[in-house]
Amino acid sequence: MEKLFGNKFIEIWYDQENHWLYSKWQDYQTMESIQTGGEELVRHLKEKSCSKILNDNVLVKGTWTFAADWTTNVWFPQIVQAGLKHFAWVYSPDIFSRFSSEKAIKNNPGQIVRYFHSIDDGKEWLRSQ
């Protein structure tokens, strides 16, 4: 895989074999970290002409509901416009992070987002799309 971006909160990789982005979020998130990561995902989705993202939240801790409205109303429409068609969201085992994930995508047009408890299940779904 080719690393495209990385900081304390997120790493973004391009999986050439599967032609999708892999985003690995980690630690406690801030509004700034979520916006920066989201903007980087939009940019790299366009640059790589991808339509799929494997979004790994396994290492995310705590709540980030403060960013749910931005994620739903600003980021999600932007990334769909950039070409997103399938988004496999792998839950964190942290209940607060999981709640934040569910709150963040209230509008899921065409069932673009699917939630998973394991990375392997998310990969399997993306490969079938």
Question: 62-106: per-residue pLDDT in tens?
Answer: 998 899 889 988 999 999 999 999 999 999 888 888 778 877 776
Residue-level pLDDT at 110: 63
Domain boundaries, the chain: 2-127
- Closest among 63, 49, 47, 58 to 24, alpha carbons compared: 58
Ranking 8-12, 32-36, 80-84, 92-96 by mean pLDDT, the lowest is 92-96
> Residues 21, 12: contact at Cβ < 8 Å?
yes
Binning pLDDT at 50, 70 and 90, where does residue 16 land? very high
Question: DSSP 3-state assignment of 55?
Answer: strand
* Percent above pLDDT 90 for the chain: 77
Structure tokens at 30: 């801030």
Which CATH number, 3.40.190.10, 3.30.750.24, 3.40.50.360, 3.10.20.70, labels domain 2-127? 3.30.750.24
Question: For residues 41 and 82, what is the distance between their CA atoms, to the nearest angstrom?
Answer: 10
> Residues 72, 62: contact at Cβ < 8 Å?
no
* Strands 86-90 and 113-116, sheet pairing: parallel
**What does pTM read for this prediction?**
0.93
Q: Give me the sheet containing 52-61, strands edge to edge.
A: 2-6, 10-15, 20-28, 52-61, 86-90, 113-116
Amino acid in the structure at residue 86: H
Mean pLDDT of 30-53: 97
Give the side-chain half-sphere CA count within 13 A for 104. 26
Does residue 108 register a pLDDT over 70? no
Mean pLDDT of 8-25: 98
Residue-level pLDDT at 49: 97
